[in-house]
Structure 1
Amino acid sequence: MFKPKSSQDTLLLAQFLATTGPEEYLKTKRQSNRASRILGKLRKRPQEKVQNPRDSGVYTDDSDNETLLSLKEFPQPPVHRITTPRISEDKKSCPHCRQSITTRPRRPSCPPALASGPSMESNTKLLLAMVQKLKNQLAEEKQSRIKLEKAMYQIERRDQLEQEKKKWVKDCMMLNERVPILP
């Protein structure tokens, strides 16, 4: 069974596995504050009756008449209306930003990096077994590569020795031919 050497190895493994799968929905405090601020701005404000700035309506009887500033001349900008999404069995909506969150099953090759409940305990054992299997496979491949490199080096070395022997034989034959010629 795979035993991490240190917590650093476990963290590195968790970071690697977190980057290989689909993104998980995670909301930080900063994101939630930003979402609540935006929602506060987008919520529909109560509409107040537009009043003439000169006439408060207290002293005159014609304050119910149309004001000098008409809505046609100065229309109000459109206000965003938040629509609630249809909630189905596999979709949830975020309480802050109202976006639909779909829960899709993860691929078996990309389990979550950190266990998020009791159902994940068996998956962590499976994950550690997969990691151990991959490490063993990598070690076997490394050993076979080293053996192959040694064999190739030995073949090259053997070829070099044969060439040197042939060269020595040629040199010796040339010297033997020249020696009788010398007086």
Structure 2
Amino acid sequence: QAKTIFKRLNINSEPRCSIESGKYAFHYIIEGSVCYLCICDQSYPRKLAFSYLEELAKEFNMSYGNEVDKPGLRPYAFVKFDTFMQKTKRIYQDTRTQSNLAKLNEDLQDVTRIMTKNMEDLLWRGDSLDRMSTISGELKDSAKMFKDKARHLNLQALYRKYGPPVIIATVILFVFLLRYYFF
């Protein structure tokens, strides 16, 4: 099954994934052109499996990172890395060891920090939405005031433009009416 998984992986594959198959779970991480895969019992904590894979990836990149893409690479070029893998595997095998419990607690703290950050973001967004609501209300009031003032200015412009000729025409008409009726 592991060979099948490796054959189906490509550049577009999910970089971190767990695949459950029967009583086992396959966990893998793809970093660059290297895939790190481990097979665990279903009951083994997923966080520890990925922590193990991340530790392998970190050490492999430090030790052999620049040699991976070299042309003419032989099939067992990185066989020396097996000793590190075995040591690390022994550390991670017992989920109750102090260091593994510490890693799980650290992951829990990370999740708590993320949840706290998300809550802070939500509260900030709520604050921001209230602020945006206030600003939009003020903007609406300002737009209404601008509309009223614009109407008033247009009326004043009409008075200035047509006011004097209308007054002169009214005075002349009044003079003609006075002359016609009284004189």
TM-score if structure 1 supplies the norm length?
Answer: 0.36
TM-score if structure 2 supplies the norm length?
Answer: 0.36
Greater fraction of residues in strand: 2
Q: Using CA pairs under 8 Å that are at least 6 residues apart, name the structure with larger relative contact order, 1 or 2.
A: 1
